[in-house]
Every structure is written in C-alpha cells, then in structure tokens.
Structure 1
Amino acid sequence: FKHFATHAIHVGQEPEQWSSWAVVPPITLSTIFKQRVPGKDEEYKYTRFGNPNRHILEQVVAALDGAEHCEHLMGWTGLGAA
C-alpha cells in the first residue's frame, strides 16, 4: 500500500483467513483454544501466549514500522497488576 493510513487498516485483515469470511476480523473472546492433537502445541493455546487479535495487532505494528516481525511485544497490562 502506498499510504500509511491505508496500510494501517488493511494489513492482516484478509477475510479468507476466517471461516466466516468476515471483512473486519472477529473479536476473539476465548481464553483457551482446543488442540487438534493432544500434546502438540498449536498456534494458539492460551490467550496470555497469543490469540488471533493480538496476532493481527503484531502484524500491523510490524508493517507500519517496516519490520517483518513484531512478536511478543504486545502484552496484556492486566497481567502485571497482580
């Protein structure tokens, strides 16, 4: 994308990645995710370690910064309150 704002709203938001083909990524409220094979880690297992929404945010931040990856920089502030 040529323009910063256009890039910011389109990165990581391909409807084909969702089974519903939602144009706007759905908000993921789940805190745990089912494993297809017991004992084998999937991309998402527990919200503290990542979820689809955080993954999209990381993609957008990386793209806007011109980086390839921005993993594990986004954390949940509520976790530090304990």
Structure 2
Amino acid sequence: MMLAIGAAAAWFVVATTVAFTPTRDHHWRAAYVLIALGIPILVAVFWQSGPWAGMAVLAGAMSILRWPVIYLFRWLRRLASGR
C-alpha cells in the first residue's frame, strides 16, 4: 500500500523540481514524460489504496499539470460542439 503512495510522492517531488527549471518549450516535453510516468502510478494508487486516495492523487496531479488538463478540456469541448 505504501509503495504506490511513495511513488506518487516521488512523482510530485520530481514534477515540482521540473517546474522550477527554465525550458524553451514551456515544460511540454517534461509534461509528456510526467504524464507517461504518472498514469501507471495513479493506477497503482487506485488499486492499492482505494478510490479516495486515488482521487486525491489525481487532483494533485491535475493541479501540477494544469495546462495539459486545460487544453484537454478545450479539445473535448470542441469535439462535443462539432466544430
């Protein structure tokens, strides 16, 4: 149980450290890597610790990766409206 939470905590530390470093592409490459690494960790948290812990980790990850989430919701809204 604690392994998944520990991996999520390490992911948050890495994500915060990446956010402090300047990049030319506004952290988009790092965001793709963090998403690719974060999805299996999130699934493990849901599986091992339950839905409440998983939703708390998901909310924290969405707050760190807010621009990819904003662009995802804009894209979904555009798909739903048919433009």
TM range (shorter): 0.3 to 0.5
TM-score in terms of structure 1 length: 0.35
TM (norm. structure 2) is 0.34
Q: Which has the higher contact order (CA 8 A, sep 6+)?
A: 2
